[in-house]
Chains A and B, each alone.
Chain A
Amino acid sequence: MRFLATSLLAASFALTGAALAQQKPGELTVAMQQFPATLNPHIDSMLAKTIVLHMTQRPLTTYDEKWQAICLLCTELPTIENGKAVPVDLPDGKKGVKVTYTIHPNAKWGDGTPVTTKDVMFTHEVGKNAETGVANMEQFREIVAIEAKDDKTFTVTKDKLKFTYNLLNDFRLIPEHIERANFDPKQAAEYKKRTAYDTQTTNPGLFFGPYKITEIVTSSHVVFEPNPTWFGEPAKFKRVIFKVIENTAAMEANLLSGSVDYIMGELGVTIDQGIAFQKRNPDKYNYDFKPGLVYEHIDLNLDNPLLKDKRVRQALLYAINREQIVQQLFEGKQPVAHTNINPLDWIYDKDVKTYRPDAKKAAELLDAAGFNVMKEGYRHNAAGDRLRFELMTTAGNRSRELVQQVLQSQWKAVGVEIVIKNEPARVFFGETTKERKYTGMALFAWISSPESVPLTQFHSNHIPTKENNWAGQNYTGYKNPEMDKLLEDIEVELDKNKRLALWTKFQAIYAEDIAVLPLFFRAEPFIVPKWLKGIQPTGHQYGTTMWSQNWAAN
């Protein structure tokens, strides 16, 4: 039996090349791991939806692959310099900003209706209505006034003059001429049941991007065809199919069997699968392991008396060898993180304090913190408390489980005991981290956009408590008035040089206090067939589909 199984597998490797199906002309089949629950741009928030939606429409502004802010639906990015953004004093005495946007003159919904400020006003009306069930209210809340100048031009007044004043990255328009009938302000809660995005999913009037949806089967696939009214570079494929395959091993088999052509990095296979796949098929595909703004780290619960001591936290970081983990497990494709700022971000400080693996230093720090009694291979303090932490993460995530076990082993070497306790993602994120129920360490990742201010992760006002209904992402319980001030200042500092200085200071405090153990930035494997051109990974939360008009067969 063993022989049989071995030879079966061996045969399969030998033959995989032969069975590769040829690409169908003009067609592209893409594998993704998750299906969007709804396509309405403002109800629910999930990555899969953003990816699908960006095939068919564009937000007003976004970050490009060089992490620069650009206009997509507007004609020119408003700035204070070009006069399209004007700081204003708000009635309540605060400083706000008034920004003017012009919608692209040729922008038309798929049924020929022009995209106008009517859609903008309508989107705002839907979004700000508390009953609608909009997930991300913040972008509507920060708008204190919105005004249509003409069919294509409108102004937005925001409640605060932040350095991101000209961005409307998540402001995705919904077509007024279709959705007006489904939205009754008096019964806004009914909107989510009536929205055409769920009831008439293939209505061309819902889309104005390079592609429109022509077929959609829940949990299975989405079919796109070119949208003739698209105002940009025309779409190159006659048909693009997004196929949902949840199991990544099955996804790989689908790629090999030719049922899918391309695996997108954002929702594709894991990094180790990508690396192994590249080793076996070095020539058939192009590979892009784009390290991005997904920051894997361990939150330390600072309420834990053992972790209150800064020396213990620093020692924990000295004791582990992240460079080795990255090299051995991920072939160096995921850069080590020294803080939450990615080295590719312009605000990154290359002189920030780094923690090279140093067992001696770790031992000294732990001795100094009072953990100098070795018993049963682990450190104890004079009171007999063992240096012992629970390390939690999402169960079933193989990459994280590997990292976890390596860390456990490395910490054991300096006498720190780690107990691994994993939970299903839903419990882990829905309760354990959010309600700060973890006792020691929580390993997970944040995904962000370029130069995003981690206000909610480090500001003391954002520590989730029962009183504030568990809002905020400061799961460590980190409190530092200096940090609070710094984060508030960064947010409203418009001068780039001054902001850079603030960012440098931020990184210094982060690296000194080590409320969080930074691990590495995740890389996403894009497995692209040789004949497919124009896939441009961005490394941030606004992914490749935003430029799908450039995708072309060679």
Chain B
Amino acid sequence: MTRFLSIRFLQASIVVLVMSFVVYGLIGLMPGDPIDIMLAGDPNMTAADAARLRAVYGLDRSILERYLDWLGGAINGDFGYSRQHHQPVLTIVLPRLLNTLYLMICAFLISVAVAIPAGVYAARHPRSLVDQAINLFCFAGISLPVFFLALLLIILFAVVLGVLPAGGMKTIGESSFGDRLRYLVLPVATLTIANIAQVTRYVRSGMIEVLREDYIRTARAKGANENRVVWRHALRNAMIPTVTIMALECGTLLSGALITETMFSYLGMGKLIFDSILANDFNVALIGLLFACSVTLVLNLIADLLYAALDPRISYR
């Protein structure tokens, strides 16, 4: 087990390292650059200005050179400056990461808390009225584009009912916890609706599958307590594909809440990464993506460990 973990840890570090280079390269490959855009927008700028600014921002050197420079700093704990905001990268990234964690944890916990019981119930009563209702809700959740869902929620709760703020992080000049919470409701709702739907679908289909298995029939035939059969034996097995999906979903939540964050003017990682990629803010984009990447790796590792825990036939040596 320890060996397994250390191997995985080593592998993960290699992935992060390779990723950092791939991402750096990708951003570098993108055509255009903020200095080009400044140049296009400002009639007074000359070729010399462009060259001078490039030199100031170190863009005149090759990608590889800049990357190695960055890597050297990063290993020593210096992640550099944000080129856009002229501030140390961590000063920019950490508060955003925290905001995203709030969003992500809330969305994840609520999804799981709702999706597992709903999926199990639906699986135990296939084609019942409740199952159909749950199905319909899931499909509705899956089939609404996020920006559209967000817009509908804003219209309903902020404009029509006027009970929740339309966007932002907090009321300016106020710092109570309740206030923060009010601003979290709509973005979390937007994220959870789609997420619940996905997870419920997987739990339901996994459960239906498992409930047909012979050992469940056997357990039942032996007169085992039905709740025990469902929640211990069946759910355990049904969770295998679900855990995979949830690990993936959770990783993408970190960087993938871009649209939700944009619609609600929420200051999270998704928007930060997107903006810094577009602005060639290499340092911020890299750190942001590496955070996202590391979280995905860790979650996948957890998912793999959970496989072993859920299914004794899988073992890691």
Contacts and interface: CB of A to CB of B under 8 A. Distances in A.
Given A8-B156, A469-B48, 11 more contacts: A15-B159, A137-B45, A137-B46, A221-B168, A249-B151, A250-B150, A250-B167, A253-B151, A258-B162, A429-B36, A469-B51
16 contacts: A18-B162, A37-B84, A131-B56, A215-B172, A220-B267, A247-B147, A249-B151, A254-B158, A254-B166, A254-B167, A257-B158, A257-B166, A259-B166, A469-B47, A471-B39, A471-B50
Contacts of B264: 250
B147 to A, nearest CB: 8
A247 B146 CA distance: 13
A138 B46 CA distance: 8
Contacts of B150: 250
B30 interface: yes
Interface string B220-240: 000000000000000000000
B312 interface: no
Interface residues of A, number: 71
A473 B169 contact: no
A303 interface: no
B168 A220 contact: yes
Interface string A193-214: 1010011000000000000000
A134 B150 CA distance: 40
B174 to A, nearest CB: 12
B40 A433 contact: yes
Interface of A: 1, 8-9, 11-12, 15-16, 18-19, 21, 37-38, 40, 43-45, 130-133, 135-139, 189, 192-193, 195, 198-199, 215, 217-221, 223, 241, 243-247, 249-250, 253-254, 256-259, 425-431, 433-434, 452, 454-457, 468-471, 473
Contact of B160 (A15, A454, A455): A15
Contacts of B51: 469
A155 to B, nearest CB: 22
A9 B85 contact: no
Contacts of A132: 56
Given A135-B38, A137-B49, A246 B92 contact: no
A430 B86 CA distance: 22
B41 interface: yes
B244 interface: no
B44 to A, nearest CB: 4
Given A12-B155, A426-B278, A429-B36, A471 B168 contact: no
B262 interface: yes
A457 B43 contact: yes
Given A133-B57, A220-B267, A471-B47, A431 B32 contact: yes
Contact of B31 (A137, A195, A427): A427
Nearest to A189: B56
B109 to A, nearest CB: 26
A9 B155 contact: yes
B45 A136 contact: yes
